[in-house]
Amino acid sequence: MTKDTLFREDSNGSDFNFGEATAEVFDDMLERSVPLYRELQRMTGEIAAEFAADRTNVYDLGCSTGTTLNALGNAIKKKVTLIGVDNSKAMLEKTRRNLNHPCDLLHADLNKTIQIKNASVVILNLTLQFVRPLNREKLIQNIYAGLHKNGCLILVEKVLGNDSLFNSEFIKFYYEMKKRNGYSEMEIARKRETLENVLIPYRVDENIELLKKSGFPHIDIFFKWYNFCGFLAVK
């Protein structure tokens, strides 16, 4: 795994992107920047296995380097077609090399309408936060329309606290975690700046409202760590 040293250098005002340099170090970046990343992957596989149905599609939207697709392939014992979607060619190339299960890969932009069909499970882990707020409702509605009844959406997001008092505390604890995982204060500050207009988190209640408005009748939180939250929505 190549070590993430991207923000040891100044990014000279450019925004965060998912190009080749990021794809190269992304597995290490996720392991050190997402709390309980491995447990999240395990839970995603476990939940998906419960909802997956024979002869349906299981989508991973924003599949990055293919870690979740492999977790799904290991966990799901039904006859499903795994479909990974990403708009970064560099990430899809990494996925292609990492995959240890048959899988269809699709280069597509989630800001535009993508076809979700015959789905029993759709996963949006740490990806909706990068879709423009204006396009989020349409995407969730599109997912809802493509899911079978009793199918599920697994959504994991960086979130803002419902109360700004906790918000600043949670973010402070998050940066402490990154420091424990070997990032310097300078690296943390530089990355935060480049993400400012790119990663736009919603509050927990805004995400729940979005799921409700799109039609999901069953919604719960299956994961919460300070400013990270996992939602499970069932049609």
Ligand X SMILES: C[S@@+](CC[C@H](N)C(=O)[O-])C[C@H]1O[C@@H](n2cnc3c(N)ncnc32)[C@H](O)[C@@H]1O
Q: Are 211 and 231 in contact (CB under 8 A)?
A: yes
**Shortest distance in whole angstroms from residue 226 CB to ligand X:** 17
Closest to ligand X by CB, 68 vs 227, is 68
Q: How many residues bind ligand X (CB under 6 A)?
A: 18
For residue 97, which of 40, 48, 27 has the smallest C-alpha distance?
A: 27
C-alpha pair distances (Å), 172 with each of 5, 54, 165, 178: 22, 44, 12, 10
Closest to ligand X by CB, 125 vs 227, is 125
- E-state strands within the chain: 56-61, 80-86, 104-107, 119-125, 147-160, 202-203, 218-225, 228-234
Find the binding residues for ligand X in span 18-37 (CB under 6 A).
Answer: 18, 30
The structure tokens listed for 137 are 């409702």
Residue of the chain from 91, 119, 143, 232 that contacts ligand X (CB under 6 A):
91
Residue of the chain from 56, 57, 68, 70 that contacts ligand X (CB under 6 A):
68
For residue 76, which of 102, 105, 41, 47 has the smallest C-alpha distance?
A: 47
Q: For ligand X, which stretch binds (CB under 6 A), given 45-53, 59-67, 171-179, 189-197?
A: 59-67
62 lies in the binding site for ligand X (CB under 6 A): yes
The structure tokens listed for 107 are 């280069």
Find the binding residues for ligand X in span 111-140 (CB under 6 A).
Answer: 111, 125-127, 130-131
Which residue has the closest beta carbon to ligand X? 62
φ and ψ at 151, to 5 degrees? -75, 160
Residue of the chain from 15, 109, 205, 220 that contacts ligand X (CB under 6 A):
109
Q: Are 125 and 96 in contact (CB under 8 A)?
A: no
**Shortest distance in whole angstroms from residue 77 CB to ligand X:** 22
Q: Are 128 and 139 in contact (CB under 8 A)?
A: yes
**Shortest distance in whole angstroms from residue 7 CB to ligand X:** 15
Q: For ligand X, which stretch binds (CB under 6 A), given 46-54, 86-94, 162-170, 177-185?
A: 86-94
Positions in the binding site for ligand X (CB under 6 A): 18, 30, 62, 64, 67-68, 86-88, 91, 109-111, 125-127, 130-131
